[in-house]
Structure 1
Amino acid sequence: MQHSSIHWFRKGLRLHDNPALLAAATDCCCLHPLFILNPSNSQAGTNAQRFLLDALRDLDGSLQKIGSRVLALNKGKAPLTYKRLQSLLATLGPPEKPAPALTQEHLQGCHTPCQASHDTDYGVPNLEELGQDPTNVGPHLYPGGETAALTRLDALMERTAWVCSFQKPRTAPTSLSPSTTVLSPYLKFGCLSVRTFWWRLDQVYQGQQEHSQPPTSLHGQLLWREFFYTAGASIPNFDRMAGNPVCLQVDWDNNPQHLHAWREGQTGYPFIDAIMTQLRTEGWIHHLARHAVACFLTRGDLWVSWEEGLKVFEELLLDADWSLNAGNWLWLSGSAFFHQYFRVYSPVAFGKKTDRDGAYIRKYVPILKDFPAEYIYEPWKAPRAVQERAGCLVGTHYPQPIVEHGVASKRNLGRMKLAHARKGNKSPVRHQAHFTSSCHPSCLSLPQAPSESHWLVPQWPNHKGKSPRPRGSEPHKDVQAVVSYGSCTTCPVLTHFAQPPCINPFPSPSLRLATWLLPPPQKSTPTPSTCPKKG
């Protein structure tokens, strides 16, 4: 018996591997492909809004080719370590193969009612209609849509050696062209199916004798996505400190001036300012660049709450995904998952590791482009004559460092120790802080990237690949969550590599990730006594 269907597009803005869309079109005489825009409730900035509109136009074009249209309405307990997630997924096996793409054959005998006024009534709007100023967008480097996603994926899969040798910590945050895939915005908006990505990678891996492994491989990056989705689905108040059972309660400062300087790339630390400028203008930054600026804002230097940084990333990132955004800010601020708070990114030395000449800074902070490499990361150290020749006087054309890194990081280390000592108390009240602007050449030991983890103490290898847990520290065991599959009637086989949980601001059409909070593990549960080796 034929019926009419409404398919509500939310994060799956594609025709390929979209089982819900296929189900809606099956035995359907009238299909309504619906997308609801609600800009008043969106925290996304202009670049991200443009990406979304690109994706909608591409989807509408793809549907038109097979006789349909988008109806755009402008109305404006989890595994808490990566290693635990891997052990759970090992029992589930690989994800299902992708569903076939919707084609004209699927729509035989089915139509989408379109009137002459369709484009006026239901067409994809422009930025002005969403209340955005189109002059605020940056360069259009990453057009949205399924077409661009699959084209980018195809190009990457042709680079067999690169795919097989890919290790995320070895990519460069200062590369002038992306050293990673930049598929994250397409995964976030559902322009690319994560299962399609997984199996395309598997095809490349199958033809090679050796390839990188999780957590640092490309498969591993998809598992990180599932890790934070699962945590976000089962941990209450995952995107805030108050009421979050796994989040360290910290006396973060309320310092709007420091937050504004950080957001606008005016901290006086060129590496940090270059990253934030790239973020504001292009909507994407390398994951290690995100780590550097997140650490700088929170426990490293400015002692501003990670919740404030989360809001900025939610606005500016093309790939701002609720669970991943919150989970990474919890991690980088030392509030959850990662507890080696004594390891701090240097705002000077870290960028030098991959770009000693400062080409990245010269591109994104052009006022400093004529400084010699010796001073490009620390322009305040340059003699006045050098600054004059460069056409930039520090303190006049470019700000002095907002804090003295060596002093601030040591002070913050003591405050983190205090927060850990006070663990279990009620949420503290933030207080106003007053820091003096100065400069200092010191830096602390540098982490590289997340590696394997045990319980709630993920390890972070240093430059030698070793990162032992401090003596006397204990694995944190607040809650445990288990991924289950076969319990959701809408997706009885797959719970991993699926759409985000329904608490996501842009949730999937159906819940595909089932999680339950369980009591903390009993005393008989073995606790690892050794730290993992470098991943």
Structure 2
Amino acid sequence: MTKVPTVIHWFRLDLRIHDNLALRNAINEAENRKHYLRPIYVIDPNIKNRVGLNRLRFLLQSLQDLDMNLRNKNSRLYIIRGNAMEELPKLFEKWQVKNITCQVDIDPEVVQQDEFIEEIAEKKGIFINKRVQHTVYDVHRVLKNNNGAVPLTYQKFLSLVNDLPVKECIELTKSVPDECKPPDFESNKYNIPSLDELDIDDTNLEPLKYPGGETEAIKRLNLYMSKKQWVCKFEKPNSSPNSIEPSTTVLSPYISHGCLSAKLFYHKLKEVERGSQHTLPPVSLLGQLMWREFYYTAGAGTNNFDKMVGNPLCMQIPWGKNEEHLKAWAEGRTGYPFVDAIMRQLKQEGWIHHLARHMVACFLTRGDLWISWEEGAKVFEEYLLDYDWSLNAGNWMWLSASAFFYKYFRVYSPVAFGKKTDKEGLYIKKYVPELKKFPSSFIYEPWKAPKSIQTAAGCVIGVDYPKRIVDHDKIHKENMQKMNIAYKANREKKAVKRPRS
């Protein structure tokens, strides 16, 4: 008996059925050719060594939700365990694969992986159909419109996409025909693993504040889009980095995993803004989405975008190394309560406000600790639910004044910045409970509290809560001198390289 060939849709950062053209292409191909349809997701059992537990839990929830939504369309999700470059070629033979659909990606590791798989597929006569569906715009087209050059400013990027049409979202309205269901449809072999199966102890994990999945993403999107006035008045600088409940949408984890289409978010925002007075990019909600597109474009067009060395956009700065300080920062033990509260929230919940990210990134790099932005990017990669390769690298370069932003002397104060929106220090008291009985007058600078007050609050500085690891007022001035020297050295280096006229 001849085997029925297979059409694969390979889910990556498109964990949804709405606005998923590649998935619809796969379904149509399977239906037209009477082939089996197998939507897959490849999960490496070693993922627990590369991804923080909050993000891994979010991913598994998103996969469970995706499987449920696929089953509602008479299909299912096949989990393939292992390395894609090893496992997919095996499936090519086992399933007699004829077609693969998937999204376009720009992460260099994924690009390299795809090139390897495409080479094998081509030899076997397997057609791969890739679709742009993780961004609003085709970033390679944006680069082409700029003669292959990366737009170095946000405004330049906006000018490049201003006249580019944004395609309408597509919906998956029909179900998969019964004849496209493979005989292994009910096999437990391809089920989504639990944290337990991945040998992960989740007993110390906090309850997940933001559940993963397309269903939750759409619910959250509709909730915020119903607040028309709030959307139209949104201004990024005026939102609070230390409110107990988020002052932004927290849609970023859903967009970064592809549970929510960036294009759908774009169209919904346009719909809300239509006919109303509203804020504009870069501070508006639409402006935040465009920042994502800006960094994706820069990442797609820049070699070594996530590194300092070999990155043509990145300022070469002789950062120092201090493992003790790096660890104290990552664990929220710097002795600066606002910084520590942010880092502890990140570790507990997997999400922090974008201005809070600015604060701790500046503190780690040019502001206080003089540690490379690459080290901070690794910590964010582990803990952030909304980790995104291009945004993570781009934002860290910006905040360390290594690229895109060059006013390095504008340093966030780890004391004054938080006070603007939370004078009482309620945010600190929540995430740094050692200080919860401290008077508000000392909550941002506990080292200034008299010993009697520290004792009465049950928290002696240096015993129950760490002393500050640096003196901000002194160290940030020294760091500004270092930045000045680094900038001067970079200018001189460029001048030497510049050809004479």
State TM-score, norm by structure 2.
0.82
Query: How many Å apart are 1:40 and its aligned residue?
Result: 2.6
- Pairs aligned (count): 424
What's 2:76 paired with? Answer: 69
Query: How many Å apart are 1:90 and its aligned residue?
Result: 1.2
Provide Cα deviations, 1:194-253, integer angstroms capped at 9, x if missing partner: 1111111111112x4301111111111111000000000111111011101111111111
Query: How many Å apart are 1:39 and its aligned residue?
Result: 4.4
Alignment partner of 1:331 out of 379, 398, 402: 398
What's 1:88 paired with? Answer: 160
| 1:32 aligned onto 2:38 | yes
Alignment partner of 1:118 out of 176, 182, 187: 187
Q: Distance in 2 between matches of 1:273 and 1:112?
A: 52
| 1:191 aligned onto 2:198 | no
What's 1:379 paired with? Answer: 446
Provide Cα deviations, 1:300-349, integer angstroms capped at 9, x if missing partner: 00001100000000000000100000000000001011100000000000
Provide Cα deviations, 1:341-370, integer angstroms capped at 9, x if missing partner: 000000000000000000000000001001
Query: How many Å apart are 1:106 and its aligned residue?
Result: 4.3
Alignment partner of 2:177 out of 87, 104, 108: 108
Alignment partner of 1:254 out of 308, 313, 321: 321
Please list every run of 5 or more consecutive structure 1 residues that lacks an aligned counterpart in the other structure.
Answer: 427-475, 478-519, 524-535
Q: Distance in 2 between matches of 1:306 and 1:299?
A: 9
Higher normalized helix content (fraction of residues): 2
For 1:9, the aligned partner's letter is F
For 1:11, the aligned partner's letter is L
Aligned counterparts, 1:318-397, within 5 A: 318-397=385-464
Q: Distance in 2 between matches of 1:356 and 1:204?
A: 34
Please list every run of 5 or more consecutive structure 2 residues that lacks an aligned counterpart in the other structure.
Answer: 84-148
Structure 1 residues 173 and 7: CA distance shift in structure 2, 3 A: same
Q: Distance in 2 between matches of 1:146 and 1:346?
A: 38
For 2:25, the aligned partner's letter is A
Structure 1 residues 3 and 78: CA distance shift in structure 2, 3 A: farther
Poorly superposed stretches of 4+, deviation over 4 Å: none
Tell me the SS of whatever aligns to 2:79.
Answer: strand
Query: How many Å apart are 1:43 and its aligned residue?
Result: 2.5
Q: Distance in 1 between matches of 2:158 and 2:243?
A: 31
For 2:195, the aligned partner's letter is L
Percent identity (aligned): 53
Aligned-residue Cα RMSD (Å) equals 1.9
70-79 vs 9-18, which deviates more? 70-79
145-154 vs 128-137, which deviates more? 128-137
Q: Whose relative contact order is higher, 1 or 2, with alpha carbons under 8 Å and at least 6 apart?
A: 1
**Contact 1:34/1:70 (<8 A) preserved:** yes
Q: Distance in 1 between matches of 2:294 and 2:478?
A: 32
Query: How many Å apart are 1:135 and its aligned residue?
Result: 2.3
State TM-score, norm by structure 1.
0.77
What's 2:170 paired with? Answer: 99
**Contact 1:26/1:106 (<8 A) preserved:** no
| 1:79 aligned onto 2:86 | no
Provide Cα deviations, 1:444-498, integer angstroms capped at 9, x if missing partner: xxxxxxxxxxxxxxxxxxxxxxxxxxxxxxxx99xxxxxxxxxxxxxxxxxxxxx
What's 1:60 paired with? Answer: 67
What's 1:530 paired with? Answer: none
**Contact 2:43/2:80 (<8 A) preserved:** yes
**Contact 1:3/1:27 (<8 A) preserved:** no
Provide Cα deviations, 1:64-100, integer angstroms capped at 9, x if missing partner: 112111001121532111000110011313x111011
Aligned counterparts, 1:80-229, within 5 A: 80-93=152-165, 95-100=166-171, 102-103=172-173, 105-113=174-182, 115=184, 118-119=187-188, 121-206=189-274, 208-229=275-296
Query: How many Å apart are 1:258 and its aligned residue?
Result: 0.2
Q: Distance in 2 between matches of 1:175 and 1:96?
A: 36
| 1:9 aligned onto 2:14 | no
What's 1:274 paired with? Answer: 341
Query: How many Å apart are 1:129 and its aligned residue?
Result: 2.9
